[in-house]
Structure 1
Amino acid sequence: MARGGPAWRDGGLHDAAVVAGVVLLLAGLLVGRADVALLGVPALLATVFSRTRPPAGPLEAGEDPAAGEAAGGVESRVHVGGGELAHVRASAAGHRVTEFVARLPAGGRRFGLRLASVRTGPQETAVVDVRGYDGVWEHDPLTVGGTGRLVLPSSMRLGAVPVPRSLRGVTGPRVSRRFGDGNELRDIHPFVPGDRLRRIDWRATARRSPDLDTLYVRRTFADAEAAVMLVVDSRDDVGPDVRTWRGYGEQRVDEATSLDLARHAAASVARALVEHGDRVGLVDLARETRPVPPAAGRRHLRRILHGLALAHPVGQPSPRVRPPQVPADTLVYLFSTVLDDAAAQLVRTWRSLGHQVVVVDTLPDVRPVTEPHLAIAWRIVRMERALRLDRLAREGVPIVSWAGSGRLRAAASLEALARVAARKRDWR
């Protein structure tokens, strides 16, 4: 809450009204026009009335408390009270300045502000400057807003996505290759000690053993669930403009960066798996914290989205002695720009440990570079990156591009990989 002092100051309108009233009175007397002289009387009376009636209270302005996290943009509400009129000026980095004048009722007034942006993660609300007016009185500007918000990433609906070959658990939405309780029939087998009586198939028994010498049971495949780890390479956050990669200039709010694409892609994959009943975990490469273990449920999906929104670069990227440990029998989704050899080395290490890996390329579509020295640097980086991706592809690592121009193709690619995995049961 920002509160002004009890004293308002004269905004200069008092002197102007007095001068205008005196001029009109003198002009009317000089030219002998009573109507002209009477025009100055309201200005003088209003000035006297305003000077004898100071504002009832100080100017107040504040930002209404809101949830610390939201989805779909940065919204805030500002309330202003005290005075008759308010001149409001809202500004935010990357957005144009908005100004308006509003009349204030007795109980004050609230204004809703929303920043249109495709950016996610930690963001700030608009900074609002409020100047109050009450008759001839004027109040110094008050500044409110600029508080932190956490914008959760959005997601797109995906079909089937790749899951690991080895399933886990004794229950779940998928059919495993081992015996157990399930819905998919494996075979009809003679009753042996340990079989449950409710598994007896009386029709098969009557057909194969009319004298009931041998009982037959229906054996099924056990139901299980898949476990997937989402690994977000948040060590860097680059946009479509190569000039901003050096840390100079601001990235546009209407253009998604590589980390925005990584958050969106990871949220989409997590949503598809959780809705199917599978387990999902999260690893942030930039922060040396414990990974979020695989779990299922909508509450856990909210936890994954919160972790994705908090992913951001932390200082200079430090080399890892070993890759993050992921549980056995899990498939790893790596969301990275692959701008250095560290990402490719992580993929090879995980594959050597028996994990299946899918690389999701999150580098945005880079705009053409006009500066000669930057054009040469970007050409070298682009060629080195293409060689890394080509080597990984030749080693059998699926690579899916999630750039703005190929997002729909990425969804189709993931669905095609899922069909291949279901058909071969081993696409490593």
Structure 2
Amino acid sequence: MSFTSSERDGARERGLRGPDDPVWRRTPHGVAGTVVAVVLLAVGLVTGRADVALVGVPLLLGVAWSGAPGALTGRTPERPTRHAISTADETAAPGELTAVLAIDPPAGVEVVHSRVAAPGHRTLDVLLAPGRRELELGLASVRTGPQPTFVVDVRGHGAGGATAEDVERSTAPDRLVLPAAMPLGRVPLPSRLRGLTGPHTSPRLGDGSELRDVHLFTPGDRLRRIDWRTTARRSPALDELYVRRTYATAEATTILVLDSRDDVGPDLRTWRGNGDLRVDEPTSLDLARHAAASVARAVVGAGDRVGLEDLGRRRRPLPPAAGRRHLRRVLHGLATSSPLGSPARRLRPPRLPADAIVYLFTTALDDESLHMVRTWRDQGHQVVVVDTLPAVHPVHEVHLRLAWRVTRMEREDRLRQLTSEGVPVVAWAGDARTGAPARFEALVRAAEQHRAPSVRHPG
């Protein structure tokens, strides 16, 4: 909505404030200066002390000059201090979030006070000289997903600081922080491959680069497969033709199952929903996003297909596909995952493509994940469980300490039971995260001994 100059003048005549009219108010020290000046003049007049009265005259003139904008100088600002926060993109990488704060104060403002705040960070106060300014804002955070950023309060001060305009607040839009990926090298693949093309050699006969054998020509063999040297050696009269047969190629399908039903941090006090999570400590969902992004990067980098399923939301899963563009969609799906209220119990696990390997990223704080893993294994899927619970800080409260002790023992029993059933469990918290590539490599080597294919991430 915009107002013409005549409408704005009419609003001022009626005593109303227009949308662009600044409101100037006396500051406490401006009021104190007025009181001191009046008291000194009164004391000088009553006691006949001209020196005391003369001391109050400069104070009174200064307050009159600066306390009522335009009363003596005619320098009333025609508009409030304009400011805006702009960001380069709606999404960002983890680490540091940046924005640009543009401030344009009007004439008559001697100093601009800006207060920049962000959740989980200390408040920063900045004093700026008059004139248009652009400030670069930045904050560091290890959190991923939707993150609130900057809240800026701007206030212009008049001459001498005796008056100031009302505080104007601007809030920057939330940023979607995409999870980063860590190079993993090789990760386990399903024992059975699918498709007619792909980066891996399958055990069946077909078009490929790896030689299987040399066989007599049969109907259906392609002429370009004829091995003329072998034919000339075995059948000089060319009564029989020999062809080179190869193994077919295929691709692997990987499904990432993200357990976003809960998002807990290292502090047990925040598990009940009380208190804010620290921005310098990743939560279980942050670790799950990072682990899933790392596995997705390794799979897509090798030319295989990867899909995404979210246990916390009943929405359409992201179907398996390959390519860098699809990897971007996977990262966006991981970033937008978040717990929604109390998690509802699933009647059955999500349906997965046949011959797909499943990576379950969970905290294992309940029996739901154990039930799903068993169901998937009964359906013939290979399952790898990635433990994403962060290292819990010790607490002094006795009831929290006892509750965590019971919860930890139950969780350890679940993970131990999964391991005893042949399900690999890879930890992804604290120092264990750096050893995850070696753990995946060990799983690949163990699978190679049973003639299971593997994927290697280039570079």
The TM-score with structure 1 as length reference comes to 0.89
Matches within 5 A, 1:92-171: 92-105=118-131, 108-135=132-159, 137-171=163-197
Residue of structure 2 in register with 1:81 after alignment? 104
Matches within 5 A, 1:259-274: 259-274=285-300
Match of 1:54 among 76, 87, 95: 76
Match of 2:426 among 369, 375, 400: 400
Match of 1:68 among 90, 114, 120: 90
Matches within 5 A, 1:153-302: 153-302=179-328
Distance across 1 between alignment mates of 2:59 and 2:316: 77
What is the Cα deviation at residue 46 of structure 1? 6.7
Which 10-residue stretch deviates more, 54-63 or 122-131? 54-63
Distance across 1 between alignment mates of 2:390 and 2:316: 29
Residue of structure 1 in register with 2:4 after alignment? none
Residue of structure 2 in register with 1:365 after alignment? 391
What is the Cα deviation at residue 4 of structure 1? 6.7
Contact 1:4 1:58 in 2 (8 A): no
Which 10-residue stretch deviates more, 11-20 or 232-241? 11-20
Query: CA RMSD of the aligned region, Å?
Result: 3.0
Give per-residue Cα distances to partners, 1:107-142, cap 9 Å, x unaligned.
x32222222111111111111111113435521111
Unpaired segments of 5 or more residues in structure 2?
2-17, 454-459
Which 10-residue stretch deviates more, 72-81 or 309-318? 72-81
Letter in 1 for 2:82: E
Contact 2:189 2:452 in 1 (8 A): no
The TM-score with structure 2 as length reference comes to 0.84
Q: Say whether 1:9 aligns with 2:24.
A: yes
Contact 2:147 2:175 in 1 (8 A): yes
Q: Say whether 1:332 aligns with 2:358.
A: yes
Give per-residue Cα distances to partners, 1:346-405, cap 9 Å, x unaligned.
000000010100000001111112211111111111111111111110100011000122
Which 10-residue stretch deviates more, 283-292 or 202-211? 202-211
What is the Cα deviation at residue 146 of structure 1? 4.4
Give per-residue Cα distances to partners, 1:311-346, cap 9 Å, x unaligned.
111111111110000100100000000011000000
Distance across 1 between alignment mates of 2:296 and 2:372: 21
What is the Cα deviation at residue 238 of structure 1? 0.8
Contact 1:74 1:124 in 2 (8 A): no
Give per-residue Cα distances to partners, 1:182-208, cap 9 Å, x unaligned.
111111111111111111122222222
Give per-residue Cα distances to partners, 1:289-318, cap 9 Å, x unaligned.
111110001110010001101111111111
Contact 2:34 2:60 in 1 (8 A): no
Residue of structure 2 in register with 1:308 after alignment? 334
Number of aligned pairs? 418
| Secondary structure of the structure 2 residue equivalent to 1:338 | coil
| Secondary structure of the structure 2 residue equivalent to 1:290 | coil
Unpaired segments of 5 or more residues in structure 1?
none
Distance across 1 between alignment mates of 2:400 and 2:185: 40
